[in-house]
Structure 1
Amino acid sequence: MAKAPKLKDQAHIVTANHLTGGDVVYLTARNDWSRDIAAAFVAPNAEAAAAWLTEAEAQAARNIVVAPYLVPVDASTTPPRPIQFRERIRAAGPTTEQQPAA
């Protein structure tokens, strides 16, 4: 059986949900938020990403975003590709189709 990767050694980005619209957003190098994962600041590992998470948590305290957390990514691709399947789904956008108004 293959060993699970050591996610702490992976590059990481910070994600959250935007407070007003609920959209998935990513913390950028400018300390603002983007819906585009390609704009996310990529920290080389979880330890380096901790400072970015602290900034994101401060923004959550100011009611800009909800529940920020670190996402391990493959930084060798553009845009960075989340390691975890759930995060790849979140990065791809909503999985439900908007229904036409009745």
Structure 2
Amino acid sequence: MQSITIKLSSETIDSLNSIAEAEHDGNRSDAVRELLSKGMDYDALEARHKEAQQQLRAVNARQEDVGELVEHVERERELQQRERERRDAPIWQRAKWWVLGRS
């Protein structure tokens, strides 16, 4: 392992000493290594979280597109059904619809 030197505020040193005493038998180097490792793990998890959010947004956008497509197909089917009904209806029925409207 390589050695490094850092300068920390008094509050940070007090916090580090507390962590070292509680979890590492007073060994500040082990405490710093663990804190750095946890920080890097946190960064990796945060990156995965952001990626998952982007994937979720993409899936939601696709679902919205599919929903719009389904609505369009349903409207188109309804229009085709009405056209078939109009075409197959007797002349008197079409005249009635023309005069009174179709309900």
Greater relative contact order (CA < 8 Å, ≥ 6 in sequence):
1
Q: TM-score, normalised by structure 1?
A: 0.23
Decide which structure has greater strand share. 1
Decide which structure has greater helix share. 2
Larger Rg: 2
Q: TM-score, normalised by structure 2?
A: 0.23
